[in-house]
A and B are shown apart, each in its own frame.
Chain A
Amino acid sequence: MNFWINFWTIFFIASLALFAGMAVVVTIGGFFNIRSLFKGLTNRVNQQEESPHKDDD
C-alpha cells in the first residue's frame, strides 16, 4: 500500500504544478486567439453583406 500512497502523492503534486503552469499559458494565449477569431469573423460577416447569395462552405 505504501507504494500507492507515495505514487499518488507525487502524481497529485506534479499534476497540480503542471496544470497551474498550463492555466497561465492558456489564459494569455487564449485571449490573443479570441481577438484573432473575432477579426476573422468580422471579415466574413462583411464579405457576406457584400455578396449575400454566398451560403456556407
Chain B
Amino acid sequence: MPLAGLPMFDMLKTRMQWHQARQRVLSENVAGADMPGFKPRDLRQPDFDGAARGPGPVTLVSTQGGHLPGFAGASSAATAKSGSFETTPSGNSVQLEDEMMKVAQNQMDYQMATSLYAKSLQIMKTAIKRG
C-alpha cells in the first residue's frame, strides 16, 4: 500500500499545502501594506468533511463569475477577501498587527502539521520494524 494513499497523510499534505498557500497570501498582504487601494486577502480553510472516509480531489471554487482560474497547482483552497474594520484614506485596509498575528498563527499550525506528519512516519516505521 503506497504511503501517499493513506487518508492521514493525504489530509496532512493538503493541510501543509494550504498553509504554504496562505503564507503567500499573507506575505502579499504585508508587502502591500502601503499600496494605495490594496485590500488584504486570506485563504478559506480546506474542507475535510468526508476526507476521513476517502480522499476526493480538491478543486478551486469560484464564488463569483469574474473569478479567474488559479495558478496550476498553486493552492487547493479559494482566496477570500477578508473583512477589515479600518480603511485608510488611500483605500488600503491592511492591519499590519493582524497580518503579523496571522503569520505567527500560520507558522504554528504548519509546525503542528509537519510534526504530525513526522510522528505518523515514525509510527509506520515502528510497524514495519522486525520484532
- A, B: real partners: no
Residues on A lying within 8 angstroms of B by beta carbon are none
Residues on B lying within 8 angstroms of A by beta carbon are none
